Amino acid sequence: MITLDKYNFIGKKASVRVDFNVPLDKSFKITDDTRLKACIPTISKILKDGGSVILMSHLGRPKSGPEEKSSLKHVVQWLKDTYKTTVHFADDCIGKSASEMAVSLKAGEILLLENLRFYKQEEAGDESFAKTLASYGDVWVNDAFGTAHRAHASTAVMGKFFSDRVCGFVMQAELENAEKVLGNAVRPYTAIMGGSKVSDKIMIIEKLLDRVDNLIIGGGMTYTFVLAEGGKIGKSISEPDKVDLAKKIIEKAKANGVNLYFPIDNVCADNFSNDANRKIVAKGEIEDGWEGLDIGPESVEMFKKVVESSKTILWNGPMGVFEMPNFAIGTNAIADSVVKATANGGYSLIGGGDSASAVNNAGYGDQVSYVSTGGGALLEYMEGKILPGVAALA
């Protein structure tokens, strides 16, 4: 695999697959530019070498062709302000304007193509579509780790039309940081798994039970484990059909000598609302009509002790419904503990998605070791799956 630092882009038009899937408000203003900032080193390196950049990405989940809320034109001004260069925008990624702009693109300039997913061929991995996209550039750079687990036209198929395929800085950093928790991690090694469903995390949990010393489980998936132990969960989110799976995880943890931690108390509400009535209830004692939306104070203290004594930490998934301030206390406390462990010499990898949002929203993004930009891709990589976007770079 060729890395960006080993390639000179002078005189080259680089087709760069980036992940510009950023959130926009109702006025189409960018509300979180983390993913845009992540690509600055890659784009800057190409421009500094004397090359030009053709940016390709998706944004949102357009269902049937072009739509205003998913247009990448809303990113153009940010690019102009950041790179202080000419930024062209092609309003059709495989239209005449795109090919003409690519031909006339000068060294030091940027061309941004419209949302690739406005065409169904992108997600279908269509070869003809990929070939058209590939025709614009001289070299392919994949810097979109967040979509590397998808065999889409721009994330994987495009690679076959280039003799020069280069791994971008984001992609390289993601893979290198994942290896730090997959390889010989410094111990004690603690994994924190949150989120709503056991079924979403079962494969990564099983892999982690072969590697970690401690596994902390929080979030909605907790209540499936409570069911497995015969506890009461009221109307809390759960997967009754995954109770046997939960029991197997508990058994495997014991067999492997892994310390398995569950919340011992929960913050419950009588309604799924930030303003709902709240009370703290012991594990397995949630009454009918109430649901658990966060971990309780005793759980916070227990988890903090484990996290702050760890030397390697992997965190994926919130401890509760952190989007609601009254139920974000547990997630914020974990973020604080991860920061403290990192300051104490530990290594911390935040596994994208909601965990990354929680850390960034708390202002801790630069106080942990690495914040992944790709939740699903990171999980699949750690599960041992081959990522099409990575394999295409070989």
Catalytic residues: 35, 197, 353, 376
Per the CB < 8 A criterion, the answer to whether 368 and 358 are in contact is no
Query: Could you tell me which residues are beta bridge partners of residue 349?
Result: 314, 370
Instruction: Calculate the CA dihedral of residues 391, 112, 110, 27 and round it to 10 degrees.
Output: -120
Within 10 angstroms of residue 286's Cβ, the number of other Cβ atoms is 22
DSSP state of 378: H
Report residue 53 as tokens: 């950049």
Within 10 angstroms of residue 376's Cβ, the number of other Cβ atoms is 16
Handedness of CA 240, 354, 57, 51 (dihedral sign): negative
Per the CB < 8 A criterion, the answer to whether 231 and 284 are in contact is yes
Please state the length of the chain.
394
Beta strand segments in the chain, E: 2-3, 13-17, 52-56, 87-90, 110-113, 139-142, 165-167, 189-193, 214-217, 232-233, 259-261, 265-269, 278-282, 285-286, 291-295, 312-316, 347-350, 370-371
Per the CB < 8 A criterion, the answer to whether 268 and 293 are in contact is yes
Report residue 100 as tokens: 């003409």
